[in-house]
Chains A and B, each alone.
Chain A
Amino acid sequence: MKNTLKQVFHSGKFLFGFCIFVVIIATCIIYPIFVTADPLQMIGQGNFFKPGTYVSIEESTLSKSYTLQLPKEFSKLEAVLDIDTRSEIQQFLIKQAGIAESEIDVTDAEALVEQWKANYDPDTKYKGLTTAKRKALKRLNNEINAALKDSGVIIAEKDEEGALAQSKVIKDTDYVNINDVTKKTFILGTDNFGRDVLTELIAATKSSLKIGLLAGTIATAIGLILGLLAGYMGGLADNIIIFITNLFTVIPSFVILILISYSVGDNARGIAMVGIIIGVTSWPWTTRSVRSQVISLRNRDHVNLSKLSGHSMFRIIFTDILPYIASYVVMAFILQISSGILAEAQLSMIGLGPATTKTATLGLMMQWAMTYSAHLNGSWWAYFPVVILIALISFSLNLMNTGLDQVFNPQLRD
């Protein structure tokens, strides 16, 4: 036993997969210790806030300000000059001021404004333009002039009569220390309900792992028992079991999964129920492979010797057969966990996942992101992390499986 474990952990593939898996599980355990907030708390009022740090605007305007000379990312000029405005200015410069198109660079806002100021005169009545257009140009000129001033923003408050009274002027060199104000960092933004995606993701991973574990345990148990019975007893029992197994291997388990989930009804479909349903639909291939392994073991000498010694069937199965297929069963179990997690995700995306609002699962997160078309409006943070996590979990489990396979089947080693 000790040697086998040592050998297993010497396999690079197994170790790599094992490390990823352990990191995922450890995150699921450790993260909630530090972030105790309810993962399903709806913080944001609105759909899909971008990842980043959110700072209270009110507190920022009221708290002590510092004067810093820094170039700004947010330029008022850039904000005024959107693509349509720029092309309008370009049109004006070409048609009215007679500047060649090659001399105008619409991507350089400051140069464009300089050309505008040099050529546009608000008092001139330009020919060939409608009155509406002339007025629009005048408004544009005012906007540009306003954007060029360093006036900052005025904060005003309503007094008792409802008149606005200036209370504070915010200059464009005013800064606030971020530690002085209330802030919240959403590393992965928020989802369609305004929930923190990162916190929710970790809670979801935890419940998805639970589903996978439950489904894997049930599927492996059923598969193992049926496989042992069929393989060891042979005869009629074998015929019946292999008949049923063959039926369920050919009928897609996906279909049975849908049918059962649908017939269970929304009220009964919790996390555990989904795990059980996935478990009872995914045992057939485990049964098949356990059976074929047992058949090859059945007539070995040590088994025959046990039979001659009059040992009971259970004893023979437990001491003479199980140890030989143990490694195989472990590998099957690992694969069942990973396919269970995937099955939950797919089921949820059709709308037949856990019908609960109390917990999140990876599939449900995916489902809500799709329902609110996160994939079409570019809110990648709502579903990419989920996809990556599902892929990582099943990648790590499959790596472990391949590693084990190479340890126990030396022919596969490179």
Chain B
Amino acid sequence: MKGYKKYYGQKLFWYFLTLIFAVILNFILPRLMPGNPVSALASKAVSGMTDSTAIQKVINDYATRFGINEPMYKQFFMWLGNALRGDFGVSFSQYPRPVSDIIAKAVWWTVCLQLPAIIVGWILGNILGAIAAYIKGVFDKAILPIFLFIGNVPAFGMATVLLFLFAIKLRIAPSSGGYGYDLIPSASWTFIKSIISHYQLPFWSIVLITIGGQAIGMRSMSIYELNADYVKYSRFLGIKDRKIVGYVFRNAMLPQITGLALSLGTMMGGALVAEMVFSYPGLGMTLLTAVNGQDYPLLSACTLIITIMVLVANLAVELLYGVIDPRVKANQMD
């Protein structure tokens, strides 16, 4: 147990460090933009004003309010202090809604959509890949190329395909939004039913994409393991096939888990764009409105929350990995 403490302590420290770095990046990068956003905002406010002293006053007011006259590090700590209290400022495009309010609404849609979709896709993909490696023959030759192709369709592409088929042609699923546009969010049965029916298309488009990618990886890992010496030796000893296969897939699983951790960020990026196709009220849509509305407080809060989500998911996967992989356990025993 003592060894685990060290392993988890290291991991936590490392992720904390990454978080700090990500926060710094998130602060600095948008401020490198030519023509800083605050002066752009101020010039929008003074357009039409003719009195030069009044203009000067407004600009000064904006400058002190956003603290752009302070040195960079002071600005950073001011921003960080506010961010820690959950205050990301006021949205430009949806004035006077606070950014934290918009984000808090959107983030649950994204979490509830992407987390189950990626997990389901990952599990199904691994099962499929393992079966393809074990059975080979027709299954491998016919189904795998299809999934190889599907895995290469971008998530937003799959979203448009599903949308066209099921919402436009067959009309069995709603085409956009998170719930019926004529409903008010409540705990009623019709509302829940509407949410579930709107959930289907975005969910399955993410699942299908994930299956494709994971199946390919799992298949080659399993083939690799099936040819390993310990498998041949076990067969030679007369151990039952079923038992061997259990070990093989457990071993092949491990790199898949690391792979999941590494590709989570990419997957989420793709899934966010797929959300946009369905106008799902999650972070993808928020990101789009932020970019289109030149809403830089909202954009920066969006990217920060996405980063934190990916970091937390990554950390969870790595902590889980510590429990599953016997080698980590063995390392900690020493």
User: What per-residue 1/0 map shows which CB atoms of A82-119 lie under 8 Å from chain B?
Assistant: 00000000000000000000000000000000000000
Also in contact, A250 and B15, with CB within 8 A (given A263-B29, A376-B176): yes
**Number of A-B pairs, beta carbon distance below 8 Å:** 153
Chain A residues with CB under 8 Å of B34's CB are 265, 267-268
Also in contact, A262 and B33, with CB within 8 A (given A254-B265, A414-B136): yes
A387, B157: Cβ atoms under 8 Å? yes
State which residues 336-371 of A face B: CB under 8 Å: 338-339, 342, 345-346, 349-352, 366, 370
Per the bound structure, the CA–CA distance linking A381 and B8 in Å amounts to 52
Q: How would you classify the secondary structure of chain B's contact residues: helix, strand, loop or mixed?
A: helix
User: What per-residue 1/0 map shows which CB atoms of A240-267 lie under 8 Å from chain B?
Assistant: 0000001101111111111110111101
Chain A residues with CB under 8 Å of B160's CB are 375, 383-384, 387
B310, A395: Cβ atoms under 8 Å? no
B153, A387: Cβ atoms under 8 Å? yes
Contact of A258 among B164, B303, B314 (CB under 8 A): B303
User: What per-residue 1/0 map shows which CB atoms of B261-304 lie under 8 Å from chain A?
Assistant: 01011101110110011000000000110011000100110010
B266, A253: Cβ atoms under 8 Å? yes
Also in contact, A391 and B149, with CB within 8 A (given A346-B270, A351-B291): yes
Also in contact, A263 and B30, with CB within 8 A (given A376-B168, A391-B149): yes
Per the bound structure, the CA–CA distance linking A345 and B159 in Å amounts to 14
Chain B residues with CB under 8 Å of A384's CB are 160-161, 164
Closest B residue by C-beta to A16: B145
In the complex, identify which listed stretch (B55-63, B70-78, B220-228, B245-253) lies at the interface while the others stay far away: B220-228
Chain A residues with CB under 8 Å of B30's CB are 259, 262-263
A372 CB within 8 Å of chain B: no
Chain A residues with CB under 8 Å of B17's CB are 247
In the complex, identify which listed stretch (B20-28, B41-49, B188-196) lies at the interface while the others stay far away: B20-28
B311, A351: Cβ atoms under 8 Å? no
Closest B residue by C-beta to A267: B34
Also in contact, A411 and B224, with CB within 8 A (given A263-B32, A346-B156): yes
Q: How would you classify the secondary structure of chain A's contact residues: helix, strand, loop or mixed?
A: helix
A252, B269: Cβ atoms under 8 Å? yes
Chain B residues with CB under 8 Å of A256's CB are 25, 29
Chain B residues with CB under 8 Å of A402's CB are 148, 216
Q: How far is the CB of A413 from chain B (nearest CB, A)?
A: 9
A390 CB within 8 Å of chain B: yes
A251, B307: Cβ atoms under 8 Å? yes
A345, B33: Cβ atoms under 8 Å? no
Chain B residues with CB under 8 Å of A352's CB are 291
B21, A376: Cβ atoms under 8 Å? no
Contact of B157 among A268, A285, A391 (CB under 8 A): A391
Q: How far is the CB of A389 from chain B (nearest CB, A)?
A: 10
B234 CB within 8 Å of chain A: no
Closest A residue by C-beta to B22: A251
Also in contact, A259 and B227, with CB within 8 A (given A346-B273, A351-B292): no
A328 CB within 8 Å of chain B: no
B82 CB within 8 Å of chain A: no
Contact of A370 among B164, B168, B277, B300 (CB under 8 A): B277
Chain A residues with CB under 8 Å of B64's CB are none
Q: How large is the interface on B (under 10, 10 to 19, 20 to 34, 35 or more residues)?
A: 35 or more
Chain B residues with CB under 8 Å of A262's CB are 29-30, 33, 291, 296, 299
Contact of A265 among B35, B152, B224 (CB under 8 A): B35
B175 CB within 8 Å of chain A: yes
Chain B residues with CB under 8 Å of A345's CB are 154, 156
Q: How far is the CB of B129 from chain A (nearest CB, A)?
A: 13
Contact of A412 among B33, B224, B269, B270 (CB under 8 A): B224
Q: How far is the CB of A274 from chain B (nearest CB, A)?
A: 14
Also in contact, A350 and B314, with CB within 8 A (given A259-B303, A285-B262, A376-B168): no
Also in contact, A376 and B175, with CB within 8 A (given A350-B291, A398-B148): yes
B: residues with CB less than 8 A from A are 14-15, 17-18, 21-22, 25-26, 29-35, 136, 140, 148-149, 151-154, 156-157, 160-161, 163-164, 168, 175-176, 216, 220, 223-224, 227, 262, 264-266, 268-270, 272-273, 276-277, 287-288, 291-292, 296, 299-300, 303, 306-307, 310-311, 314
5 closest A-B pairs by CB: A252-B265, A254-B269, A387-B157, A259-B29, A395-B152
- 15 A-B residue pairs with Cβ-Cβ distance under 8 Å, sorted by A, are A249-B262, A252-B264, A253-B265, A256-B25, A262-B33, A263-B31, A267-B34, A375-B168, A378-B168, A384-B160, A387-B161, A390-B157, A391-B152, A402-B148, A412-B224
